[in-house]
Chain A
Amino acid sequence: MDAEQQLQAIKQAKVLMVGAGGIGCELLKTLALSSFQDIHIIDMDTIEVSNLNRQFLFRQSHVGQSKAKVARDAVLRFKPHINITAHHANVKDPEFNVDFYKQFNIVLSGLDNLDARRHVNRLCLAADIPLVESGTTGFLGQVTVHMKGKTECYECQPKPTPKTYPVCTITSTPSKDQFEGGGGGVSLPLARNFSLPLARNLLTGTISLSCLVHPCLSFSHLCTPVLGCFILFVHCIVWAKDLLFSKLFGDKDQENDLNVCSNNATSSSEHAEDVFKHILDEDIEQYGRRIYDHVFGYNIEVALANEEAWKNRNRPKPTYSSDILPDKLIQQIGNLDNGATDDPSSVSAMGSLGLKNPRDIWNLEENTRIFLEALKLFFGKREKEIGNLTFDKDDQLAVEFVTAAANIRAASFGIPLHSLFEAKGIAGNIVHAVATTNAIIAGLIVIEAIKVLLCDTNSYRMTYCLQHPSRKMLLMPVEPFEPNKSCYVCSETPLSLQVNTHRSTLRDFVEKIVKGKLRMDFPLIMHGSALLYEVGDDLEEDMAANYAANLHKVLSELPSPVTSGTVLTVEDLQQELSCNINIKHREEFDEENEPDGMLLFGWTQAPPMNMDNSLPV
């Protein structure tokens, strides 16, 4: 390739980089050093301490600032005369629409989640802009080139659904209904096909328990309907994080089944829903103990009352705070009274209790202390945040609280306890990351980007970076796959849907298919020229009312009836994605195997987990 021609192509290119994290930092540096002149960066994140082991454009002093902006400034220091535009914003914001994408020659992605990747993929297809996609985890990494019509798109192959934890509350009879974990129902045979080798890899390659998260997940997700409740530490973490923590510190009004009572226990007033409410002037520790006794004591008793459920199981043991910790907590150093100067983000229950090593496994008493102390600290030091908190793996106090709560629950179920370090890995879904892999991957992205700019289509490669050499090679380049002809995202092939048009409502269709499977966020549904449904802020009131009314109607009774043979057009204007669905009426569905009551064809079910689904970048 002529060097001058290559340089010109690089200099004239306008590049969009999404993600300024681990890969992003390396990528921006490499782009700048490779003479790229016009680069836009989008990243909504701010810098955290745990980024500093690899995101080398950031320093301790930048913690809390926008990644996109700090990265731009850092690169401009050694390459002052190029144009870098930083957008501290969500890549899914409407301002980044198809016209925005069209100004670029190429999009380079170093994102950390499936949802955003999918969105970028759809917009690149709509704008017909080539996309170089990447991801790393630990020593593993990969780079792929997606070019409409030439290579497969990001969604041509089934992608794993984001990790969803089965929330197993076990406050009453464990039953099928309780295992509504969040992720759509996984079809068992399919899930089985992929999982074993992967689960095995993950398991045999473990260094820390954090890796166990993945197999546990898919595993418990799979087996819950089949074999009942598998109580694992992961469940305890999920319970502590998604139920207890968000009940106490998050949005109070959210639906939350922490209080589910079994049918034979009538809820006394004491144990009514408001048990989680902090009564005015109530001593915080008193409040904490009340919560403690309710969730670890009373709820377990209620669950135990159902003998049938425990016939083949290890019976859990109700735990009450006064049994573990008869005396009131002693006022700790650095606690409520003398900490006026304390920065709320550095508040730590471990600190005030003198526990130092995050790798130690606390005993039940220590966990109980941490639980009560952390609750006290939240109310004493961070009261303003209560009601709006969501769990954050870098929030020390939140991690302490969740660890303690999960451990107390684990203890009562006879499950081994875990250290804060391990619990944090599970709760935060932490994927490990090092600079070296990111640097290699960023280099490969730029190499592919240059080929794309030179239209050197035959040279595109999909490259995997391995941890252990395979056939003496650490980098495995392979030729990219052709587009999947039946991909609903990048091909015109219509989907088809079997559904009982007399029984399923438009809402069922929107939730289970359009959002659940096609992953559209702002759908618009048309039957010919008739608009059946639309989402948006700027809808006329009467239209909105119309759509709301339609949602409740069964398909065959919509203003423009949907029956066998109907072709529906479903669109998401923000994703610029549109697809047609052929409707076929079918009377009966098997409840066990087809729980949605409808079946979509031409769409590939994603496996429930895969190691690349939350690549850290």
Chain B
Amino acid sequence: MAEPKTKYDRQLRIWGEQGQAALEKASICLLNCGPTGSETLKNLVLGGIGSITVIDGSKVEAGDLGNNFMLDESSIGQSKAKCVCAFLQELNDAVKAKFVEESPEALIETNPSLFSQFTLVIATQLVEASVVKLDRICRRGNVMLIFARSYGLTGLVRISLKEHNVVESKPDHFLDDLRLNNPWPELKQFAETIDLNVTDLVAHKHTPYVVILVKMAVEWAERHGGCLPSTREEKKEFKEFLKSKTIALDEDNYKEAIEASFKVSTPRGISSNLRQIIDDSAAEVDSTSSDFWVMVAALKVEFIANEGDGEAPLEGSIPDMTSLTELVTGFVISSAVNLSRTLLLSSYDSETIVLLYTYKTDHCQLSCRHYVNLQKIYQAKAEADFLVVEQRVRNILKRIGRDLDAISKTNIKSFCRNARKLTVCRYRLIEDEFNSPILPELLKLLTDEDYSVAVGFYILLRAVDRFATNYNRFPGLFNG
């Protein structure tokens, strides 16, 4: 076959080859193959996970039929792990499927080292004591753990691992990285080449709002002893100042500038979130540090304090800017620009794109040219920032005795582009959660309309498990 990956075609389009490679490298262990566990593995096996090990000590009983689609009448009396494993293997022969016919609880007691070989352990329907032990074992072995419990239509999933670092965290709302509050020299220079006091209406209308804001902020600062608008009054005044510069009613670029004027006043420097990450003790790297922390270290003193002028590396992309008279054309242009931006990110030549959008009207061309120039300035700065960070990363790698090329350019680039959004998740040990729940947090969530139901179930499910541990039976079992 010319395309051996046809089977994964639809998902490769979601997570790309890197995602697929990560899946194919992973080795997963499932504890207890009831309906929840079986269903979970089904989805992973279909997607081409590297290997699976199914651990379950029970035999298939009549009651299992009809709630687990991997079992049929011929399975009765056989090892459940074996039957489920056989079904899963049938789903995808590229997956290495194994089974162990033993009780997970017993294995946790007798053979804890067994778990260190896996990338991820998925523990379903385990009793409290076993979960706590397993969690400690996994934490020690640096194995990820997912604990799942389900009853009817409710259930609970808990992830447990020491640390999870996210570079592309995709937060819900995030301000674009325009650096209007702290423009770098090239951006200022570019803004200087554009004259806002032109009388030509067309030119006036087609000045991107970023340029307007950079220039107006400079002008403002000159009149205000070098300070940018910061109080409410000043911000209002700044808006009025912008409004005074419009020469026609329909100047959307000025409207945009007014809307975005608060970006001039946002505090300079890095966010408290990023500050926390770079101040983390893990950023003191040595040869055992992960790539993530090596890059954080490069950011820390080396970049932010020096070339970065107190800021994280620039993201390098800019939002749409409607600076056209006709709404329709405006839409077309911003889509075009949006499109070209995406294409540019995939490293196409920007000139080609500009040529693609050679419009009939000069208006559009002007606006597009400004936009593309502006875009180039942002990209150039982002590229320069990246090169600095890359150099720092290599220096650190050398210092800690690792291979200079141990971290790829692509990864460093992605790290730089997302530097403002880095996220570090650390999970408490399940034992800590069980023994010392954070009561104020729970109380707060219980009174929150959005979360009260979920938190209610959490407490109930926890209570059920505790009850089962203490009385060795489930609540309600003797009520008929």
Cβ–Cβ contact A230 & B335, under 8 A: no
Residue of B13, B91, B172 with most chain A CB atoms under a 10 A cut-off: B13
Q: Is A481 an interface residue (CB 8 A)?
A: no
Q: Is A607 an interface residue (CB 8 A)?
A: no
CB within 8 Å of B: which A44-60 residues:
49-50, 52-54, 56, 59
Q: Which residues of B contact A207 (CB under 8 A)?
A: 13-16
Bound form: Cα–Cα A468–B329 in Å: 32
Q: Is A616 an interface residue (CB 8 A)?
A: yes
Convert B312-348 into 0s and 1s, putting 1 for each residue whose CB lies closer than 8 angstroms to a CB of A: 0000000010000001110110111011011100101
Cβ–Cβ contact B358 & A208, under 8 A: no
Cβ–Cβ contact A430 & B14, under 8 A: no
Q: Is A162 an interface residue (CB 8 A)?
A: no
Given contacts A50-B7, A50-B9, A53-B8, contact A212 B342 (CB under 8 A): yes
Cβ–Cβ contact A226 & B71, under 8 A: no
Q: Is A384 an interface residue (CB 8 A)?
A: no
Q: Is A139 an interface residue (CB 8 A)?
A: yes
Q: Is A358 an interface residue (CB 8 A)?
A: yes
CB within 8 Å of A: which B346-402 residues:
346, 348-349, 352, 355-361, 364
Cβ–Cβ contact B46 & A192, under 8 A: no
Q: Is B70 an interface residue (CB 8 A)?
A: yes
Q: Is B57 an interface residue (CB 8 A)?
A: no
Q: Is B104 an interface residue (CB 8 A)?
A: no
Closest residue to B170 on the A side, CB-wise? A468
Closest residue to B362 on the A side, CB-wise? A312
Cβ–Cβ contact B451 & A199, under 8 A: no
Bound form: Cα–Cα A538–B65 in Å: 51
Cβ–Cβ contact B356 & A415, under 8 A: yes
Cβ–Cβ contact B3 & A53, under 8 A: no
Given contacts A29-B69, A232-B356, A447-B153, contact A52 B13 (CB under 8 A): no
Given contacts A226-B328, A434-B10, contact A358 B2 (CB under 8 A): yes
CB within 8 Å of A: which B50-91 residues:
65-73, 90-91
Cβ–Cβ contact B339 & A216, under 8 A: yes
Closest residue to A353 on the B side, CB-wise? B2
Cβ–Cβ contact B11 & A434, under 8 A: yes
Q: Looking at the complex, which one of B16, B43, B364 makes contact with A435 (CB distance below 8 Å)? A: B43
Given contacts A53-B8, A358-B3, A433-B11, contact A230 B357 (CB under 8 A): yes
Residue of B39, B90, B335, B358 with most chain A CB atoms under a 10 A cut-off: B335
Cβ–Cβ contact B7 & A49, under 8 A: yes
Cβ–Cβ contact B327 & A439, under 8 A: no
Q: How far is the CB of A228 from chain B (nearest CB, A)?
A: 6
Cβ–Cβ contact A312 & B358, under 8 A: yes
Q: Is B208 an interface residue (CB 8 A)?
A: no
CB within 8 Å of A: which B1-41 residues:
1-3, 6-17, 35, 39
Q: Is A271 an interface residue (CB 8 A)?
A: no
Q: Looking at the complex, which one of A77, A356, A416 makes contact with B2 (CB distance below 8 Å)? A: A356
Q: Which residues of B contact A223 (CB under 8 A)?
A: 332
Q: Is B403 an interface residue (CB 8 A)?
A: no
Q: How far is the CB of B9 from chain A (nearest CB, A)?
A: 5
Q: Which residues of B contact A390 (CB under 8 A)?
A: none
Closest residue to A450 on the B side, CB-wise? B153
Closest residue to B357 on the A side, CB-wise? A230
Bound form: Cα–Cα A471–B69 in Å: 34
Residue of A400, A431, A436, A471 with most chain B CB atoms under a 10 A cut-off: A436
CB within 8 Å of A: which B91-138 residues:
91-92
Q: Is A578 an interface residue (CB 8 A)?
A: no
Closest residue to B335 on the A side, CB-wise? A219
Given contacts A56-B46, A212-B342, A215-B339, contact A434 B14 (CB under 8 A): yes
Closest residue to B45 on the A side, CB-wise? A56
Q: Which residues of B contact A473 (CB under 8 A)?
A: 450
Q: Looking at the complex, which one of B9, B172, B341, B357 makes contact with A470 (CB distance below 8 Å)? A: B172
Interface of B is mostly: helix
Q: Which residues of A contact B320 (CB under 8 A)?
A: 196, 200
Residue of B12, B69, B91 with most chain A CB atoms under a 10 A cut-off: B69
Closest residue to B153 on the A side, CB-wise? A447
Q: Which residues of B contact A351 (CB under 8 A)?
A: 2
Q: Which residues of B contact A432 (CB under 8 A)?
A: 10-11, 13-14
Q: Is B47 an interface residue (CB 8 A)?
A: yes
Bound form: Cα–Cα A431–B14 in Å: 9
Q: Which residues of B contact A196 (CB under 8 A)?
A: 320, 331, 334-335
Given contacts A436-B43, A447-B153, contact A32 B331 (CB under 8 A): no
Bound form: Cα–Cα A346–B358 in Å: 43
Bound form: Cα–Cα A121–B429 in Å: 51
Tally A-B pairs: CB < 8 A: 174
Bound form: Cα–Cα A79–B328 in Å: 57
Q: Is A505 an interface residue (CB 8 A)?
A: no
Given contacts A52-B7, A196-B334, A215-B339, contact A414 B13 (CB under 8 A): no
Bound form: Cα–Cα A351–B342 in Å: 32
Cβ–Cβ contact B46 & A314, under 8 A: no
Convert A423-464 into 0s and 1s, putting 1 for each residue whose CB lies closer than 8 angstroms to a CB of B: 001000011111110010000000100000000000000000
Cβ–Cβ contact A425 & B451, under 8 A: no
Q: Is B42 an interface residue (CB 8 A)?
A: yes
Residue of B17, B35, B92, B364 with most chain A CB atoms under a 10 A cut-off: B92
Bound form: Cα–Cα A29–B6 in Å: 25
Q: How far is the CB of A442 from chain B (nearest CB, A)?
A: 11
Cβ–Cβ contact B46 & A54, under 8 A: yes
Bound form: Cα–Cα A346–B331 in Å: 45
Q: How far is the CB of A49 from chain B (nearest CB, A)?
A: 5
Q: Is B48 an interface residue (CB 8 A)?
A: yes
Q: Looking at the complex, which one of B16, B46, B70, B328 makes contact with A53 (CB distance below 8 Å)? A: B46
Q: Is A203 an interface residue (CB 8 A)?
A: yes
Q: Looking at the complex, which one of B11, B13, B72, B339 makes contact with A203 (CB distance below 8 Å)? A: B339
Q: Which residues of A contact B170 (CB under 8 A)?
A: 468
Q: Which residues of A contact B327 (CB under 8 A)?
A: 189, 192
Cβ–Cβ contact A78 & B72, under 8 A: yes
Q: Is A261 an interface residue (CB 8 A)?
A: no
Q: How far is the CB of A332 from chain B (nearest CB, A)?
A: 13
Cβ–Cβ contact B342 & A203, under 8 A: yes
Given contacts A189-B328, A435-B43, A435-B46, contact A195 B335 (CB under 8 A): yes
Cβ–Cβ contact B13 & A219, under 8 A: no
Bound form: Cα–Cα A348–B8 in Å: 19
Q: How far is the CB of A315 from chain B (nearest CB, A)?
A: 11
Cβ–Cβ contact B358 & A314, under 8 A: yes
Bound form: Cα–Cα A59–B67 in Å: 22
Cβ–Cβ contact A56 & B450, under 8 A: no
Q: Which residues of B contact A226 (CB under 8 A)?
A: 328-329, 332
Q: Is A304 an interface residue (CB 8 A)?
A: no
Cβ–Cβ contact B69 & A314, under 8 A: no
Bound form: Cα–Cα A215–B334 in Å: 11
Residue of B10, B14, B172, B364 with most chain A CB atoms under a 10 A cut-off: B10
Residue of B6, B7, B9, B92 with most chain A CB atoms under a 10 A cut-off: B9
Closest residue to A82 on the B side, CB-wise? B66
- Provide 18 A-B residue pairs closer than 8 Å at the C-beta atoms, listed in order of the A residue: A50-B6, A53-B46, A78-B68, A78-B71, A80-B73, A138-B13, A188-B328, A200-B320, A210-B13, A215-B339, A216-B339, A227-B361, A230-B336, A346-B1, A358-B3, A430-B10, A439-B43, A616-B10
Q: Which 3 A-B pairs have the closest CB atoms?
A: A432-B13, A348-B2, A435-B43
Q: Residues of B at under 8 Å CB distance from A?
A: 1-3, 6-17, 35, 39, 42-43, 46-48, 65-73, 90-92, 153, 170, 172, 320, 327-329, 331-332, 334-336, 338-339, 341-343, 346, 348-349, 352, 355-361, 364, 450-451
Q: Residues of A at under 8 Å CB distance from B?
A: 29, 32-33, 35, 49-50, 52-54, 56, 59, 75, 77-80, 138-139, 188-189, 192, 195-196, 199-200, 203-204, 206-210, 212, 215-216, 219, 222-223, 226-228, 230-232, 312-314, 346, 348, 350-351, 355-356, 358-359, 394, 396, 400, 414-416, 420, 425, 430-436, 439, 447, 468, 470-473, 616
Q: Could you list 8 further interchain pairs (A-B, Cβ under 8 angstroms) beyond the known A226-B332, A230-B357?
A: A33-B68, A59-B90, A209-B346, A314-B355, A314-B358, A416-B349, A434-B14, A436-B43
